[in-house]
A and B are shown apart, each in its own frame.
Chain A
């Protein structure tokens, strides 16, 4: 399971266990100033993630790694048993992160509360 934490003014995403093997990353750290928002999105896995670049895809089971779609890079670490949360970024390599967490609604609210929007 992916964990999403707010540490100071940073968003820290950690892929524990074997997940880094699929996703090819253990940690993603993004300054909160580069986080535009977070949304629970159970339907996101029904759409194509795009082209692997590189990553792991087992239909309906695992979508992990870097994907390219419509010229945008997204990072995925989602498996069927988890709830999807979508974190939108700006000024980062990844346009957005699609992560499988325990409680997508709580995670999204926690991230949203840490943001100050103009």
Chain B
């Protein structure tokens, strides 16, 4: 429909994902998106409709990737969405729940490996740059 896109939408979605993970939903302005995606403002709106539509598309892609293979994924986007958007955006909340369920399904069996631990480890790694040490039993 309409004019052919003069940019690669997949690449744009990936770059938008990096930006939303780094700055959050509110933190990433349209100016930031236009700059990071390297496209015109009009093209951004034409392709995605709105910042929220783009955000939900990014989040859906992230969650689907987690459902395919949950191991070792960067969870920053999911954690940010859980804190920032899930409480105020029903569609985002549904996607976050799906993402958390996928992570839980992907946990290695046995005690000492819980979703809370996985998320906590990621947060600590984000905050300190170090992998938390834990006594293994």
Which residues of A are in contact with B by a Cβ distance under 8 Å? 36-44, 47, 69-72, 86, 88, 95-96, 108-109, 112, 117
Contact = CB atoms under 8 A, between A and B. Distances in A.
B126 interface: no
Contacts of B49: 36-37, 88, 117
Interface residues of B, number: 18
A72 B50 CA distance: 17
B50 A108 contact: yes
B30 interface: yes
A36 B30 contact: no
A43 B30 contact: yes
Contacts of A112: 50, 52-53
B42 interface: yes
B29 A88 contact: no
B41 A37 contact: no
B80 interface: no
B45 interface: yes
28 contacts: A36-B49, A37-B48, A37-B51, A37-B53, A39-B30, A39-B45, A39-B51, A41-B41, A41-B51, A42-B29, A44-B30, A47-B41, A69-B42, A71-B3, A72-B42, A86-B45, A86-B50, A88-B45, A88-B46, A88-B49, A95-B42, A96-B42, A108-B51, A112-B50, A112-B52, A112-B53, A117-B53, A117-B56
B78 to A, nearest CB: 21
B42 A36 contact: no
Contacts of B72: none
B50 A36 contact: yes
Nearest to A111: B50
A36 to B, nearest CB: 4
Given A44-B30, A95-B42, A108-B51, 5 more contacts: A36-B50, A41-B41, A47-B41, A88-B45, A112-B52
